[in-house]
């Protein structure tokens, strides 16, 4: 909002200047005072933030291990939308957009590793080669994707933990 | 604010012209962002209920086990049939043959459908159980803790019992708890007497117990019980087959001068203290296999077989001790770990600044004095609120995830 000072009015004295409390921003220019209210935290562009449009999903950019930007159908996630298929939903009408990673033999991600966002109805991966981390939940009403709920809100670090023989399964940890 | 020039309202703000003054009203572009697990209390249909913003554990949304009646479904009462003396439509023929009324059948409702949690309030403070103390936040608002009465004294004069302070406010509390089923570690001890051999065999067996059928990741209201740790030196124990996390602690504060033991109504003020702010990951540790049987097998007869009874007894005790040692080493709880994937950093709490020494306060230690004043103001600000400010602290990942 801008408070304009007409030419006929005297310059306001310092004591008459608007005083701010917490949560606002006040700027002074030759036009007067400009007050920007707090947005109330309504918009928080966190990583992996999903937005649904029909049967496509746009996901805000996220980074794995501080280095790797996932791909969607072979393109960087910043340039592609995730296609949602109605047949990929469970009996409760739920599906997920999930990050899948395939580390190298040392359990690390490198430039040849698959770091991809997929549409799935599967839970956590039990495949020792593939780690899966759910980014958002998609709720279906029949053939229509009705709502998306964000799950991931931070950029993760990936670790594969290989226990000793006979002491359990491989674990894919997103920390 | 007082200005001497006209103002114009822009986007997100409104200017109201009053007598000799103008007021600004600023609004955001929508509702305030709420973190996962945000719990809100509401009074409707004569009772306080809670709704929780969906949170996730390993990408799964918890359920709430509830009934249609608890969810406020149409509870129209058609009255009593004068011929039978029973409620109209209470005959099983109206109920598909079920013996339970449909509104009382328990169903699992996912949290993203915003089910209502029915709260079971328990008193805290003045009219609460003996010794119950109220948090300082509520003490500052007028809630009184229970007076300490020495019941061990030979005579308690009822006339001298402390009277409620003027304007006393009562407090009720109820927890919202996240319930996570998991495998549980059990230990059983079998003692096998061997009269002929002169010894005995005591074998401790570690095994896993599955959670009860039908148990699932869910949210419930009630009392949060901190987990009980197992004692690996005990012979027989069974872990609880679940992990629980406190999501939020809900409080209701009464108006002043409310009669003791009153039921909360719409005049009470709700407060919520949150303990979870972010979606969670969950892992349980691996079950450790007990090493193979290394019992001492055979010792040839000595002293013409006369000493065999003594030998058997000693070797039996040695075997038992070995088995117990193995079990104590591997008897690690199957309790899982919850954490939030934040890439490493998970704390928004800054370390406490060093307090100034007495010597530092002397003279012109302006910087020290300012820092102390700032710290005191910060502590005072924290004391006036139940929940921390954004960014909220997250649960960190445990290094035990990497141990095998």
How many angstroms separate the CA of residue B23 from the nearest CA in chain A?
A: 11
| CB-CB under 8 Å, A168 with B13 | no
Q: Per-residue pLDDT for B160 more than 50? A: yes
Q: Per-residue pLDDT for B326 more than 70? A: no
Specify the pLDDT at position B297.
53
Q: Which residue has the higher pLDDT, B361 or B167?
A: B167
Mean pLDDT confidence for B372-395: 77
| CB-CB under 8 Å, B13 with A166 | no
| CB-CB under 8 Å, A4 with B343 | no
How many angstroms separate the CA of residue A80 from the nearest CA in chain B?
A: 23
- Token pair recorded at residue B324: 């117990």
Which residues in chain A are closer than 8 Å to B110, comparing Cβ atoms?
92
State percent of chain B over pLDDT 70: 63
Specify the pLDDT at position B369.
78
Q: Quick check: A57 and A97 in contact, CB under 8 A? A: yes
| CB-CB under 8 Å, B1 with A4 | no
pLDDT band at B182 (very low <50, low <70, confident <90, very high): very high
Specify the pLDDT at position A145.
94
| CB-CB under 8 Å, B12 with A37 | yes
Q: Could you read off the pLDDT of B84-122 as tens digits, one per residue?
A: 777 666 666 655 555 666 677 888 999 999 999 999 999
Nearest to B241 by CA among B214, B218, B219, B208: B208
Among the partner residues B110, B397, B404, nearest to A164 by beta-carbon distance: B404
| CB-CB under 8 Å, B2 with A44 | no
Which residues in chain B are closer than 8 Å to A25, comparing Cβ atoms?
none
Specify the pLDDT at position B4.
46
What is the Cα–Cα distance from A124 to A98, expressed in whole angstroms?
A: 10
Nearest to A51 by CA among A153, A147, A142: A147
pLDDT band at B345 (very low <50, low <70, confident <90, very high): low
Residue of B2, B3, B54, B384 to mutate, testing the A interface (most A Cβ within 10 Å of its Cβ): B3
How many angstroms separate the CA of residue B265 from the nearest CA in chain A?
A: 31
Handedness of CA A86, A88, A93, A99 (dihedral sign): negative
Among the partner residues B1, B4, B28, nearest to A39 by beta-carbon distance: B28
Q: Which residue has the higher pLDDT, B14 or A75?
A: A75
Name the pTM for this structure: 0.75
Confirm or reject contact between A171 and chain B (CB < 8 A). yes
Mean pLDDT confidence for B363-388: 75
How many angstroms separate the CA of residue B7 from the nearest CA in chain A?
A: 4
Q: Given the DSSP bridges, would you call strands B63-67 and B218-222 parallel, antiparallel or unpaired?
A: parallel
Q: Which residue has the higher pLDDT, B193 or A151?
A: A151
Q: Could you read off the pLDDT of B256-310 as tens digits, one per residue?
A: 988 888 999 999 999 999 999 999 999 988 776 665 555 555 556 666 666 666 6
Strand partners of residue B238: B186
Q: Could you give the count of Cα atoms lying within 13 Å of B357 in the half-sphere of its Cβ? A: 2
What is the Cα–Cα distance from B131 to B128, expressed in whole angstroms?
A: 8
| Best mean pLDDT range from B160-174, B215-229, B352-366, B372-386 | B215-229
Question: For tokens 């999930």, what's the residue?
Answer: A98
Q: Which residue has the higher pLDDT, B226 or B158?
A: B226
Specify the pLDDT at position B309.
66
Distances (CA, A) of A30 to A2, A3, A10, A36, B276: 11, 11, 13, 17, 47
- Token pair recorded at residue B376: 């005191």
Which residues in chain A are closer than 8 Å to B404, comparing Cβ atoms?
163-164, 167-168
Specify the pLDDT at position A29.
66
Which residues in chain B are closer than 8 Å to A131, comparing Cβ atoms?
none
Which residues in chain A are closer than 8 Å to B26, comparing Cβ atoms?
1, 24, 35, 37-38
Confirm or reject contact between B278 and chain A (CB < 8 A). yes
Mean pLDDT confidence for B184-188: 85
Specify the pLDDT at position B3.
42
Confirm or reject contact between A121 and chain B (CB < 8 A). no
State chain B's mean pLDDT as an integer: 77
Specify the pLDDT at position B198.
54
The widest CA-to-CA distance across chain B, in whole angstroms, is 118
Q: Per-residue pLDDT for B161 more than 80? A: no
| CB-CB under 8 Å, A173 with B13 | no
Specify the pLDDT at position B90.
65
| CB-CB under 8 Å, B287 with A168 | yes
Confirm or reject contact between B26 and chain A (CB < 8 A). yes
End-to-end CA distance of chain B: 65
| CB-CB under 8 Å, B6 with A40 | no
Nearest to B336 by CA among B243, B231, B225: B243
Weakly modelled stretches of chain A, pLDDT under 50? 1-2, 14-15
SS (H, E, C) chain B: CCCCCCCCCCCCEEEEECCCCEEEEECCCCCCCCCCCCEEEEEECCEEEEEECCCCECCECCEEEEECCCCCCCCCCCCECCCCCCECCCCHHHHCCCCCCHHHCEEEEEHHHCCCEECCCEEECCCCCCCCCCCHHHHCCCECCCCCCCCCCCCCCHHHCCCCCCCCECEEEEEEEEEEECCEEEEEEEEEEECCCCEEEEEEEEEEECCCCCCCCEEEEECCCCCCCCCCCCCCEECCCEEEEEEEEEEEECCCCCCCCCCCCCCCEEEEEECCCCCEEEECCCCCCCCCCCCCCCCCCCHHHCCHHHHHHHHHHHHHHHHHHHHHHHCCCCCCEEECCCCCCCCCCCCCCCCCCHHHHCCCCHHHHHHHHHHHHHHHHHHCCCCCCCCCCCCCCCHHHHCC
- The ipTM (two decimal places) reads 0.78
Confirm or reject contact between B402 and chain A (CB < 8 A). yes
To the nearest 5 percent, what fractions of chain A are helix, strand and coil?
5, 40, 55
Q: Quick check: B277 and B44 in contact, CB under 8 A? A: no
Least confident of A1-10, B32-41, B123-132, B393-402: A1-10
């Amino acid at each position: 909002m801008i408070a304009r000072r007409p030419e006929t009015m005297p310059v306001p004295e310092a004591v008459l200047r608007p005083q701010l409390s917490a949560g606002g921003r006040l700027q002074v220019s030759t036009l007067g005072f400009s007050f920007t209210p707090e947005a109330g935290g309504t918009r928080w562009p966190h990583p992996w933030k999903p937005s649904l449009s029909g049967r496509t999903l746009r996901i805000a950019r996220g980074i794995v291990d501080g280095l790797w930007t996932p791909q969607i159908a072979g393109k960087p996630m910043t340039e592609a939308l995730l296609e949602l298929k109605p047949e990929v939903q469970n009996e409760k009408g739920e599906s997920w957009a999930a990050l899948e990673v395939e580390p190298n033999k040392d359990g690390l991600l490198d430039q040849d590793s698959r770091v991809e966002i997929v549409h799935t109805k599967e839970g956590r991966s039990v495949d020792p080669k593939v780690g899966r981390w759910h980014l958002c939940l998609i709720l279906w009403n029949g053939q229509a994707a009705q709502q998306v709920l964000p799950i991931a809100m931070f950029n993760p670090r990936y670790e594969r933990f290989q226990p000793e023989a006979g002491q359990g399964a491989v674990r894919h940890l997103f920390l | 604010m007082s200005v001497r020039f006209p103002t114009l309202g822009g986007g997100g703000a409104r200017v109201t012209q009053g007598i000799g003054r103008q007021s600004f009203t600023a609004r955001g572009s929508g509702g305030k962002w709420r973190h996962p697990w945000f719990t809100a209390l509401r009074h409707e249909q004569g009772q306080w209920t809670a709704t929780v913003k969906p949170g996730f554990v390993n990408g799964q949304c918890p359920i709430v086990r509830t009934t249609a009646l608890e969810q406020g479904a149409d509870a129209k009462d058609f009255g009593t049939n004068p011929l039978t003396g029973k409620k109209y439509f209470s005959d099983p023929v109206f109920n598909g043959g079920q013996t339970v009324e449909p509104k009382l059948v328990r169903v699992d409702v996912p949290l993203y459908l915003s089910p209502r949690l029915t709260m079971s309030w328990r008193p805290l403070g003045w009219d609460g159980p003996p010794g119950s103390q109220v948090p300082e936040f509520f003490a500052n608002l007028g809630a009184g803790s229970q007076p300490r009465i020495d019941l061990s004294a030979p005579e308690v004069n009822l006339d001298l019992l402390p009277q409620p302070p003027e304007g006393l406010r009562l407090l009720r509390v109820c927890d919202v708890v996240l319930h996570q089923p998991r495998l549980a570690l059990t230990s059983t001890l079998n003692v096998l007497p061997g009269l002929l051999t002169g010894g005995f065999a005591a074998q401790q067996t570690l095994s896993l117990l599955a959670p009860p059928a039908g148990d699932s990741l869910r949210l419930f209201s009630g009392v949060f019980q901190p987990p009980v740790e197992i004692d690996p030196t005990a012979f027989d124990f069974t872990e609880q087959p679940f992990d629980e996390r406190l999501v939020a602690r809900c409080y209701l504060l009464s108006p002043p001068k409310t009669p003791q033991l009153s039921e909360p109504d719409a005049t009470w003020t709700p407060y919520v203290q949150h303990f979870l702010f972010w979606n969670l990951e969950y892992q349980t540790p691996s079950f450790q296999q007990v090493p193979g049987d290394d019992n001492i097998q055979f010792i040839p007869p000595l002293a013409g077989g006369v000493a065999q009874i003594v030998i058997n007894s000693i070797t039996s005790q040695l075997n038992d001790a070995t088995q117990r040692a193995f079990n104590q080493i591997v008897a690690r709880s199957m309790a899982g770990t919850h954490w939030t994937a934040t890439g490493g950093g998970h704390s928004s709490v800054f370390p406490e600044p060093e307090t100034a020494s007495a010597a530092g306060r002397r003279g012109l230690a302006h910087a020290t004095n300012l820092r102390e004043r700032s710290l005191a103001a910060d502590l005072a600000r924290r004391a006036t609120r139940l929940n921390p400010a954004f960014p909220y602290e997250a649960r960190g990942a445990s290094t035990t995830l990497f141990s095998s």
